[in-house]
Amino acid sequence: MTILDSIILGAIEGFTEFLPISSTGHLIVASELLGLEQNTINKAYEVIIQFSAILAVIFNYKDKFTLKKIDLWTKVFIAFLPLAIIGFIFSSQIKELFSVQIVAIMFIIGGIIFLIVEKFFIHEDEKTIYEVEAISFKQSLIIGFAQIFALIPGTSRAGSTIIGALLVGLSRKASAEFSFLLAFPVMGAVSAYDLLKHYRDFSEANLIVLGVGFVTSFIVAYLSIKLFLKFLEKFTFVFFGVYRIIFGVVLLLIFN
């Protein structure tokens, strides 16, 4: 992997991780196009850029990472449990799903679901939850079950949690913010597991390449979170639904 490869993949991870368009799907496709093998060293690189994206959440939401927010984080942890349990039980089966074709199909399905939800299920009114702290334990658990679909490559962790949050009554902005916070335990657990699994590979990796990817991913992720929330102040998720469908169709045409 070259420094240019590192910048490209770091930027893709940072930009797509918190948007409902599947960072994993984009990284799989980008790696294919760049001719990068899914070897242990490149896997270690992906761990690093995912970890830097987690830091972007902490820097953007420093006020949420305090003991005063223990009730909120209890709800986040409840939402994290379904994915953690199912992901652990079926980890080997999930790995077999990683292919460009499956990514493309799930992009299209996810896009259609976003369009349906925007058209028929979002009615922001006095019952809508506009602050993540106001979410109930039951709602957080439902969002957690929705997140399970993110185990299928191309579905998008952010996308599945946002859809779940919208369906239980959160506003677009609150849905996105809960998804950001939920990324912390999810990505933290995944990164910790992968670090333990691949720590020997870091000795063989180019530290400059890793460092460039880390910084790139952090900066892009930090800005992406802020821009995404600004976008949702004026627009809906229809754009992401249409993008997912177009991107999925293009992938099927290119790789078939």
Q: What is the mean pLDDT of residues 152-175?
A: 93
Residue-wise pLDDT for 189-239, tens only, equals: 887 877 777 666 666 667 888 899 999 999 999 999 999 999 999 999 999
Question: CA dist 23 to 69, 131, 159, 211, Å?
Answer: 28, 26, 10, 20
Q: What is the pLDDT of residue 244?
A: 96
Alpha-carbon span 160 to 146, nearest angstrom = 6
CA-wise closest residue to 99 among 152, 149, 159: 152
Q: What is the pTM of this model?
A: 0.90
Pick 49 or 75 by higher pLDDT: 75
Residue partners of 140: CB distance under 8 A and separation at least 6? 75, 76, 78, 79, 178
Q: What's the pLDDT score for residue 207?
A: 80
Query: What mean pLDDT is reported for the chain?
Result: 89
Q: Is the per-residue pLDDT at 96 higher than 90?
A: no
Q: In this predicted structure, what is the pLDDT of residue 192?
A: 81
pLDDT per residue as tens digits for the range 27-40:
888 888 888 877 76
Q: Is the pLDDT of residue 94 over 90?
A: no
Q: What is the pLDDT of residue 125?
A: 73
d(CA 37, CA 46): 12
Q: What is the mean pLDDT of residues 102-111?
A: 93
CB 245 within 8 A of CB 108: yes
